[in-house]
Structure formats: C-alpha cells, structure tokens
Amino acid sequence: MFLQQAFLPGNKFWKYILGGLLIFIANVIGQVPLLVAVMVKCFAEDKPMPVVTSDFMNVLNKNLTFFLLLLSFAVALVGIYFVVKIHDQKIKDIITSRMRIDWSRFIFAFSIWAIFQIITTIVGYFTSPQDFLWNFNLMPFLMLLVIAVVMVTIQTSVEELIFRGYFMQGFGLLAKNKWVPLLVTSVSFGLLHFANPEVDKLGNIVMIYYIGTGLFLGIITLMDEGMELSMGFHAANNLIGALLVTSDWSAFQTDSVFKDVSEPGAGFEVVLPVFIVYPILLFLFSKKYNWTNWKEKLTGKLIE
C-alpha cells in the first residue's frame, strides 16, 4: 500500500524532520532571485524597498513576478529529489504504489476539474458581467500561458509531493495508522495558505476551503493508493485559475483573461466545493476506479 512504502529498514521519523528542513531551505534559496530582482529594480528607480512581502508583487511586471514567485518551487523540487534518497526511496515511491506513475489518472482528474472551472467561470461572467473586467492582452497572455503550464505544474506537484506524499508517509510511519497522517497533512496544508491575501480579504472562514481541499486530496490519495488524482486536480485548480481570473486580492497576480472586480465575500462559494462538489467528485472517482473498503483505507492500522 501507498503509506507502507515508508516502512523500510532504517527509516525513522527523524529523517522526515531533517528532510522537511532541507526542503524548506531549498525553497528559501529559490526565493532569492525574486528578492534580488526587486532590490535591483528599486535601486535603479531610486525607490524604497517594499517592507510588506505582498508589495513585492507590484514592483516588477506581472509575468516576471509570477515566474520568480514560482521558481522557489522548482528549487524545492530539486531538494525533494535528493531528500528522498535519505530514506532509500525514489520520487516514484512518494507518488504512487503502482509499478509506474499512471498519467491517465492525472489527465482524468485534471480534465474534470479544468472543465468544471471553465464552465463555472463562463456562467459567472454571463450571469454577473458587472463583476468581471475583460483583461485579455494577447502577448502578455501567451507569455503567461508558457510560464503557467510549466511553473504552476511544478508548484502544485511540489505541494502534493510534500503533503500527500513525503509527509503523509512520514506520519504514517510515526503513527502506524492512516487517519493521523490524513488529518495532520490536511490541516497543515490548509495552514500553509493562511498567509495568502485571500485570507486577509475574506476572513478566516476561507480556511474551511483550504483545509477541506487538503482533506479531499488526502482522501483520494489514500483511496487510490497514489497521488496521481490529487496531482491532476491540484494542477488544474491553480493553472486554470491563473489563466482565467485574477484580482487585486488574489495570491496570483497575472495577465489573465478576466479580472474579478467584485467586492468579495466568503459565503456559499466557500462551502460549496467542500460540502457539495468534492463529495460528488469522490463518488465519481470511486465508481471509475472501483474504490472499496473506505473505513480500512482511511482509518486502518499500518503493519510493518
């Protein structure tokens, strides 16, 4: 099973603490180019260096900022590649329990969620056109498309490798069960987004969405014995979001097709995915991939 791939001779939880620290350091190193670029631009224009991190987004042009912002995840990916060697594993071992990565699963989850996002955005545009500003500009958008396809895929894959892969297996090794790694990684994933500008704008209630999404991704990982579905879903969520709609208060400031100019509020749209859409997706995935024995796969014990 997926979590039991961490049960290797000599593999201990302290190695995951060390590995997590090394991945964090790699991520911080990857943030240096953005910091340097902002410093150079401010120096050249004789402007003060931004004090608040979010103000960094307004110094450079959007596409360059977007690329440099996600570059840290590319460096973190290199860190993950070497960290798994501490555990005598390969990258594949923290992605899936199958002999090979099943890319058809990735594509299926990506397609389902991408189509859903595109349809809901179109419906939102035609039902409330006053909430959207046409933001499309061909050349910046084409540049964004190239950057997003590569860098957003890396960013979402890194987050999945860390939470649904590396640490989920690590906490499974520590707790010897499945529900502890599921809950710990889901809450941790949600808290990772606490500093996002969306939380500041919408309030703490939006954490229901982030933690609920982490729980959903953890469930499909455990039920499917691999991360292919969660990686596909996560990639579609961030990629389509970055390409279709931006706003002044979103984490990604991009040259997207639309700009949301409405006054945001955290209400039904926060709970809709978690309590309605995600259960429907779980049902769809379970039927397609013949998931059974839910209680054992989500809460059962792990035997060395």
User: Could you read off the pLDDT of 27-69 as tens digits, one per residue?
Assistant: 999 999 998 998 898 888 888 887 666 666 778 888 999 999 9
- Write down the pLDDT at residue 116: 96
The answer, yes or no, to whether residue 265 has pLDDT greater than 80, is no
Report the Cα–Cα distance between both ends of the chain, in Å, rounded. 11
SS (H, E, C) the chain: CCHHHHCCCCCCHHHHHHHHHHHHHHHHHHCHHHHHHHHHHHHHCCCCCCCCHHHHHHCCCHHHHHHHHHHHHHHHHHHHHHHHHHHCCCHHHHCECCCCCCHHHHHHHHHHHHHHHHHHHHHHHHHCHHHEEECCCHHHHHHHHHHHHHHHHHHHHHHHHHHHHHHHHHHHHHHCECHHHHHHHHHHHHHHCCCCHHHHHHCHHHHHHHHHHHHHHHHHHHHHCECHHHHHHHHHHHHHHHHHEECCCCCCCCCCCEEECCCCCCCHHHHHHHHHHHHHHHHHHHHHHCCCCHHHHHHCECCC
* pLDDT tens by residue, 138-189: 999 999 999 999 999 999 999 999 999 999 999 999 999 999 999 999 999 9
Tell me if 67 is assigned to some domain: yes
- Summary mean pLDDT of the chain: 92
User: Is 183 within the bounds of a domain?
Assistant: yes
**Domain limits at 48?**
3-299
pLDDT score at 243: 96
> What's the structural domain count of the chain?
1
Residue 247 to residue 261: CA distance in whole angstroms = 7
Q: Phi/psi of residue 14, each to 5°? A: -60, -25
Q: Is residue 186 part of a domain?
A: yes
304 within domain boundaries: no
Q: What is the token pair recorded at 18?
A: 């060390």
Cα 6 from Cα 124, distance rounded (Å):
44
Q: Which two tokens stand for residue 197?
A: 């500008």
State how far the Cα of 104 lies from the Cα of 229, in Å rounded to an integer.
9
Q: What confidence category does residue 286 fall into, taking pLDDT thresholds of 50, 70 and 90?
A: very high
pLDDT above 80 (res 267): no
CB distance 256 to 242 below 8 Å: yes
